[in-house]
Amino acid sequence: MRECGINLPKQDLDVILNFFEKDKDGMINFTEFLIALRGKPNDRRQAIIDKAFLKFDKEGTGLIDVTEIRQVYNCSKHPKVVSAEMSEEQVFSLFLKNFNDKNNLGKIDRKEWNDYYSAVSYSIDNDDHFVIMMKTTWGLD
């Protein structure tokens, strides 16, 4: 902030840092900034996000295995697969990178899932469209 000419007392900077900075590395990265600005999805959207997560987290561990997601997530109609620029596995790998699997365990935790779908939700204006997209993507009723 100082580099941008914003000089605030340390106490105020600490408040700002605590609000935005979630991974406790002492820096506010762009993703943390966007997550803090956009807020959380409304109750209807969060309910469908939760329903999709729970479809895969049957044991209630708070983790889902990417192999289970691959069985449901259909990459065949992705434009780069249709044009033969990428394989379905390449498209799926790109999709998984959205979840920031920091430990590279092939697992997605609830926070990673919610953060990703909060961002997706933010880009879709209509609640009905968001719910339909989630139902279609994850085979929900």
DSSP per-residue codes, 44-68: HHHHHHHHHHHHH-TT-SSEEEHHH
Q: Which residue has the tokens 């700002």?
A: 16
Task: Write the pLDDT tens digit of every residue in 12-63.
Answer: 888 888 887 777 777 777 767 777 777 789 999 999 999 999 999 988 999 9
What local confidence, expressed as pLDDT, does residue 106 receive?
83
Buried b (16+ CB within 10 A) or exposed e, 42-53: eeebeebbeebb
Q: Which pLDDT band holds residue 103 (cuts at 50, 70, 90)?
A: low
Q: How far apart are the first and last CA of the chain?
A: 47
Round to whole Å and give the CA distance between 114 and 50: 8
Full set of structural domains in the chain with CATH: 1-38 (no CATH), 41-138 (1.10.238.10)
Round to whole Å and give the CA distance between 91 and 83: 12
